[in-house]
Amino acid sequence: MEVVKTKSRLQQLLINRGGNPSVGFVPTMGALHKGHLSLVEAASEENDVVVVSIFVNPTQFNDKKDLERYPRDLDSDLKLLKTVKCDIVFSPEADEMYPEPDNRIFDFGHLEKVMEGKHRPGHFNGVAQIVSKLFDAVKSSKAYFGLKDFQQLAVIKALVKKMKLEVEIVPCPIIREFDGLAMSSRNRLLTVDQRNEAALIFATLNKARNLIHHKNVQELTEWVTETINKSSMLDVEYFEIVDNENLLPVNNWDEPSTKVGCIAVFCGGVRLIDNIVF
Give the model's pLDDT for residue 17: 84
Give the model's pLDDT for residue 49: 97
Burial state string for 13-34 with b = 16 or more CB within 10 A and e = fewer than 16: bbeeeeeeeebbbbbbbbbbbe
Query: Helices (DSSP H) in 20-85: which residue ranges?
Result: 34-46, 64-69, 74-81
Question: pLDDT tens, position by position, for the chain (278 residues)?
Answer: 999 999 999 999 999 887 788 999 999 999 999 999 999 999 999 999 999 999 999 999 988 888 888 889 999 999 999 999 999 999 999 999 999 999 999 999 999 999 999 999 999 999 999 999 999 999 999 999 999 999 999 999 999 999 999 999 999 999 999 999 999 999 999 999 999 999 999 999 999 999 999 999 999 999 999 999 999 999 999 999 999 999 999 999 999 889 999 999 999 999 999 999 99
Query: What's the farthest any 2 CA atoms get from each other in the chain?
Result: 60
Give the model's pLDDT for residue 235: 98
Q: Specify burial of residue 237 (Cβ count, 10 A radius: 0-12, 13-18, 19+).
A: middle
Give the model's pLDDT for residue 63: 80
Give the model's pLDDT for residue 224: 98
SS3 264: strand
Give the model's pLDDT for residue 114: 94
Give the model's pLDDT for residue 183: 97
- Domains of the chain with bracketed CATH: 2-172 (3.40.50.620), 190-269 (3.30.1300)
pTM attached to this predicted model: 0.95
- Residue positions annotated with a catalytic role: 36
